[in-house]
Amino acid sequence: MDVEQLITYLARALVDHPDQVSLRMSEAEGARLFELKVSAEDVGKVIGRDGRTVNALRTLLNAAAQKSGQKVRLEILDDRRNAASAPAAPDTAQ
């Protein structure tokens, strides 16, 4: 099982909506960057209390990647935070 499959498998096991789990990979700063997106309702489950769950995931991924000489980073994409920080659309109705 490669790192990408491991992330997807673990994330789907943690969430209530496994069909909404998606993973994007890119190269960044000499490491593979994995961006995990889950349902807005499931973000808390993946992050865990005080980030414990996501830190455990990162530890597992680093151990798996180190076996094959890779460096990996895992980020959780949170649409709720992005929506809150995005500027509101101007009201054009007059």
pLDDT interval class at 12 (50, 70, 90): very high
Number of domains in the chain: 1
86 within a domain of the structure (yes/no): no
19 within a domain of the structure (yes/no): yes
pLDDT of residue 30: 84
Q: What range defines the domain where residue 47 resides?
A: 3-77
pTM of the model: 0.77
91 within a domain of the structure (yes/no): no
CA angle 31–59–65, rounded 5-degree value: 45
CATH number reported for the structural domain that contains residue 69 in this entry = 3.30.300.20
How many Cα atoms within 13 Å fall on the side-chain side of residue 54? 20
Tens digit of each residue's pLDDT (9 = 90 or more) over 51-83:
999 999 999 999 989 988 889 999 999 876 655
